[in-house]
Structure 1
Amino acid sequence: MTTPPPAPSPAPEWEPEHEVTAEAAAALVGARFPGLAGAPVEALATGWDNTVFLVGGEWAFRFPRRRIAVPGVEREIAVLPAIAPRLPLPIPLPRFTAGPSEEFPWPFWGARMIPGRELAEVRPRDEDRTALAERVGAFLRALHDPALAAEAGGGLPHDPMKRADPAVRAARTHPRLDSLVRLGVWERDRAVTDLLAGARHLDPPPGGPVIVHGDLHVRHLLLDRGGRAAGVIDWGDLCLADPAVDLSIAYAGFSGAARAALLAAYGPVPPEREAAARVLALNLSATLAEWAASTGRAALLAEALAGIGRAVAG
């Protein structure tokens, strides 16, 4: 009897459903926006859900890679112009917007590029992150203003990824950590195990939802050449949720005096919110580490693994 061949491994969840090349991006942009026809196009960044190209050395165009990203693209186009004037750091402001067409099935848009490098790429020492943390705290305080949610939050979904729910996020973190062990880049840590075990019994924080970035991790915070905050990018998970969803950056990206500076600039964070933020910090860090280890992103892997440690640190 012939042994059947093993079933093929499932495709990674970050595998694109529609990959846009620089040549395709140039054709799409030139056809929809004649003023940019013939402008040079170069790859700028790639994530799970979007591919970004720099057009004419000035405009960053975002193209969805997966259908699941399309509602987020639509929210960015609709909401970012309304909230940008109220925030103390630059965020992308859609200038060119295009709907689906025969050439490309999903909407895409372009904004003036925000100069800077990802925190995960720069990787300043933890002790050098205090000034950066203060600006992040002030930014989140402005973003989470209930008045802003009342003015611009209509129509936004309420925490569709359940990122403020510690029990949900803890359950989704275990497979990520198992993958990191199999990849040989992380060893199990009792503090991580204890945090996740405790999260199984936690409810989402009480309180009214605010506008949140929704995916504020170390790739989405840009730094200038002096290591200062330069902007916040990639708003595809923009939604209404508990502030814990964005406060996860305080526990994944900062520690010690820097974290204290961020929280001082932000304002009081009750224990339930801190607990949810720590669990999400662990979840996002583990997810980024798995992706980085699987795709050869050494700097991101180092930063994400450090984020796991920060998430459980005092």
Structure 2
Amino acid sequence: MIPQTRALLARHLPGYEVRSLTVLGEGLDNLAYEVNGELVIRMSKDPAGRGEAIRREAELLAVVAEWSTLPVPEPVFADVEAGALAYRKLPGLPLNEHPVAQPERLAATLGGFAGRLHQTPVDRVANLVERDTYPLTSWRQDAERDYEQIVGYMPASARRLVEDFLGRTPPAEPPALRFCHNDLGAEHVLVDVEANTVTGVIDWGDAALADPVRDLALIYRDLGPEVFDLALAHDQGDWDEAGRERAVFYARCRLIEDIVYGVTTGARQYADAALAHLAWTFA
């Protein structure tokens, strides 16, 4: 897709000199390129199916920038036909690849970010994101199916914990939906490793009206219960024990999902990280 990317740059940024163009990463739906160390271009693998979603995401980012307490991508251009979105590269490195020495120092920032984001007026985003009301019973069924694929990769000591979780009744459904990033994993949190600070949040393609504890659930999965509890204290949401129970439930389902993704796609860094976090996620 590199020739297509160059053509996009020529069309939308005439006269812009391309000194370097490298592949930044690849997911199930997109390829990302870095240009001159200053731009990121995300290209959909299915432009016909994702073009309109690209337009909505560009509009959404303008709303998010008003409410976010952290830097978010600033669109430079959105090409609906090509399924491409370009934005200025944010400073920092992905937290999943560059862990900080004191992750607990990130908790206040992440909790405050999530709390402010969840206050975004629903009418500002209702036409730009989906309502994600996937039932918790279906989450558990998906986790059961996923577990069957990766049980052989699980340490024997962890299997009992996972199987005990899968045998329980899921928590009650959330009482209300809020605007969420909806995929606030460590791979989408940028950090200054030396300063031990968060520098931005990227990848808003899954943003939705959803259960707000989902954002905090991935903090639990990726950074542990201690950081989660500290973040929750700074979220300023009206959380009760039921909300915490749902957060842990989502964290466990998403961890199983990450192992499957890493094993089946060859993206072993996701599986390895999930396996490393098994103990605290299922404690």
Q: TM-score, normalised by structure 1?
A: 0.80
Query: 1:300, 1:274 → 2: CA distance?
Result: 24
2:245 alignment counterpart? 275
Judge conservation of contact 1:166–1:199 (CA < 8 Å) in 2: no
Distance verdict in 2 for CA 1:283–1:36, change over 3 Å: farther
Instruction: Give the corresponding residue for 2:212.
Output: 243
Q: Which residue of 1 aligns with 2:148?
A: 178
CA distance in 2, matches of 1:56, 1:231: 20
Q: 2:85 aligns with which of 103, 109, 114?
A: 109
Q: Is the 8 A contact 1:281 1:311 kept in 2?
A: yes
Which of 156, 160, 165 aligns to 2:132? It is 160
Residues 1:263 and 2:247 aligned together: no
TM-fit CA distance, 1:238:
1.1
Distance 2:217 2:207 in 1: 15
Q: Does 1:222 align with 2:190?
A: yes
Report if the CA contact (8 A) 1:61-1:110 is conserved: yes
**Cα separation, 2, equivalents of 1:167 and 1:94:** 37
Instruction: Tell me the distance in 2 between the aligned counterparts of 1:157 and 1:265.
Output: 26
**For the Cα contact (< 8 Å) 1:247–1:277, is it kept in 2?**
yes
| Matching of residue 196 in structure 1 with residue 166 in structure 2 | yes
Q: Matched residues in 2 for 1:86 and 1:49: separation?
A: 27
Query: Which residue does the alignment assign to 1:232?
Result: 201
* Matching residue within 282, 285, 290 for 2:260: 290
Shift in Å, 1:117: 2.0
Aligned amino acid, residue 291 of structure 1? Y
The AA in structure 2 aligned to 1:52 is A
Give the direction of change, closer, same or farther, for the CA distance of 1:156–1:274 in structure 2 (3 Å limit).
farther
Of 111-120 and 150-159, the range deviating more from structure 2: 150-159
CA–CA distance in structure 1, aligned partners of residues 4 and 132 of structure 2? 32
Q: Where does structure 1 lack aligned partners over 5 or more consecutive residues?
A: 1-20
Q: Quick one: which of 141, 149, 152 aligns to 2:121?
A: 149
CA RMSD of aligned residues (A): 2.4
Q: Per-residue deviation at 1:185?
A: 5.0
Note if contact 2:183-2:218 (Cα within 8 Å) is conserved in structure 1: no
Pick which of 261-270 and 26-35 moved more: 26-35
TM-score, structure 2 length as denominator?
A: 0.88
SS in 1 for 2:43: strand
Cα gap change, 1:260 to 1:94, in 2 (>3 Å): same
Please state how far the C-alpha of 1:87 moved relative to its aligned partner. Answer: 1.3
- Alpha-carbon distance, 1:82 to partner: 1.4
Q: Work out the percentage of aligned pairs sharing the same amino acid.
A: 25
Deviation by residue 1:247-292 (Cα, 9 ceiling, x = unmatched): 2123212324322211111134222222222222122222222222
Contact 1:75 1:238 in 2 (8 A): no
Q: Give the deviation of 1:235 after TM superposition.
A: 0.6
Provide Cα deviations, 1:105-164, integer angstroms capped at 9, x if missing partner: xx2111110122222212346xx210112211011011011xx224522314443362xx
Q: Is the 8 A contact 1:26 1:37 kept in 2?
A: no
SS at match of 2:22: strand
CA spacing shift, 1:35–1:185, aligned 2, 3 Å: farther
Match of 2:95 among 114, 119, 141: 119
SS in 1 for 2:167: helix
**Aligned with 2:69 (options 88, 97, 108):** 88
Please tell me whether the aligned partners of residues 40 and 57 of structure 1 are also in contact (alpha carbons under 8 angstroms).
yes
Structure 2 residue aligned with 1:36: 16
Contact 2:183 2:215 (C-alpha < 8 Å) held by counterparts: yes
